[in-house]
């Protein structure tokens, strides 16, 4: 099973390692044509404005929307979550507009720029070690979105059919269980096409 990691900017190598540790083949994605050979895609953390600009420049917006329309699973982490959202707070233009969520960027503020915690995530057997780095929060969820975890009552993991997002970086620890969960989504591939 081939799973791509969008390699425009951000934490690519770490996701490839996690995909391979969870039992699939990781593919570094630099061109939209590569999406054809993939069964799932991860959009990594980094800087969402930069990733959004590069996605537009290299033709990834339409290509990833088409990928999602076909029911293929996508997992966005941190900045990847932001670019998948239908709405970004503060009037900033949304990017892929795939998921019925509203997000607030850098929601933890300067006091808590980065931190780690153990999170209970619905669908995972054990608490997950979650690394938050200038993380966004999901401030509203719409139709068909299931909340999978919260941190201090704020939503940090959610799923909408074949779309999965986390505010934190699951690729920065040796716990591959959320990548394993994503691989299971690909295997069952129960698409809820918007």
Catalytic residue of the set 14, 78, 162, 179: 78
In this chain, which of 29, 41, 79, 178 binds ligand GLN, going by CB under 6 A? 79
Judge whether 178 and 77 are in contact, CB under 8 Å: no
Report how far residue 53's alpha carbon sits from residue 122's, in angstroms, rounded to the nearest whole number: 33
In this chain, which of 78, 121, 138, 172 binds ligand GLN, going by CB under 6 A? 78
Report how far residue 7's alpha carbon sits from residue 108's, in angstroms, rounded to the nearest whole number: 26
Catalytic residue of the set 15, 95, 171, 179: 171
Report how far residue 127's alpha carbon sits from residue 90's, in angstroms, rounded to the nearest whole number: 32
In this chain, which of 134, 147, 189, 191 binds ligand GLN, going by CB under 6 A? 134
Report how far residue 128's alpha carbon sits from residue 166's, in angstroms, rounded to the nearest whole number: 12
**Encoded tokens for 176:** 């591959």
State yes or no: is 95 an active-site residue.
no
Smallest gap from residue 95 Cβ to ligand GLN (A): 11
x/- contact string, 88-127, with ligand GLN (CB under 6 A)? -----------------xx---------------------
Judge whether 86 and 101 are in contact, CB under 8 Å: yes
In this chain, which of 29, 133, 145, 165 binds ligand GLN, going by CB under 6 A? 133
Task: Tell me whether residue 123 is exposed, middle or buried, using C-beta atoms within 10 angstroms of its C-beta: 0 to 12, 13 to 18, 19 or more.
Answer: middle
Smallest gap from residue 13 Cβ to ligand GLN (A): 15
State yes or no: is 171 an active-site residue.
yes
Site for ligand GLN in 27-46 (CB under 6 A): 45-46
Dihedral of CA atoms 59, 28, 74, 18 in degrees, nearest 10, equals: -160
**Encoded tokens for 119:** 């999170």
Q: Which residues are catalytic?
A: 78, 169, 171
Annotated binding site: 46-48, 105, 133-134
Annotated binding site for L-glutamine: 46-48, 105, 133-134
| Contact set with ligand GLN (CB under 6 A) | 45-48, 78-79, 82, 105-106, 133-134
């Amino acid at each position: 099973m081939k799973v791509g990691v969008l390699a425009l900017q951000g934490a690519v190598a770490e996701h490839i390692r996690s995909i391979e540790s969870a039992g699939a083949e990781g593919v570094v994605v630099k061109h939209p044509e590569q999406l054809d050979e993939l069964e799932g895609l991860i959009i990594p953390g980094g800087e969402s404005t930069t990733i959004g600009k590069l996605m537009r420049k290299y033709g990834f917006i339409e290509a990833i929307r088409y990928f999602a329309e076909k029911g293929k699973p996508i997992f966005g982490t941190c900045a990847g979550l932001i670019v998948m959202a239908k709405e970004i707070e503060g009037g900033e233009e949304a990017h892929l507009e795939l998921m019925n969520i509203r997000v607030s960027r850098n929601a933890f503020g300067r006091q808590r720029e980065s931190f780690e915690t153990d999170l209970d995530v619905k669908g995972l057997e054990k608490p997950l070690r979650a690394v938050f780095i200038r993380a966004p929060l999901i401030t509203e969820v719409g139709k068909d979105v299931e909340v999978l975890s919260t941190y201090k009552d704020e939503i940090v993991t959610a799923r909408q059919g074949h779309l999965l997002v986390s505010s934190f970086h699951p690729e920065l620890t040796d716990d591959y269980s959320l990548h394993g969960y994503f691989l299971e989504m690909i295997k069952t591939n129960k698409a809820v096409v918007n």
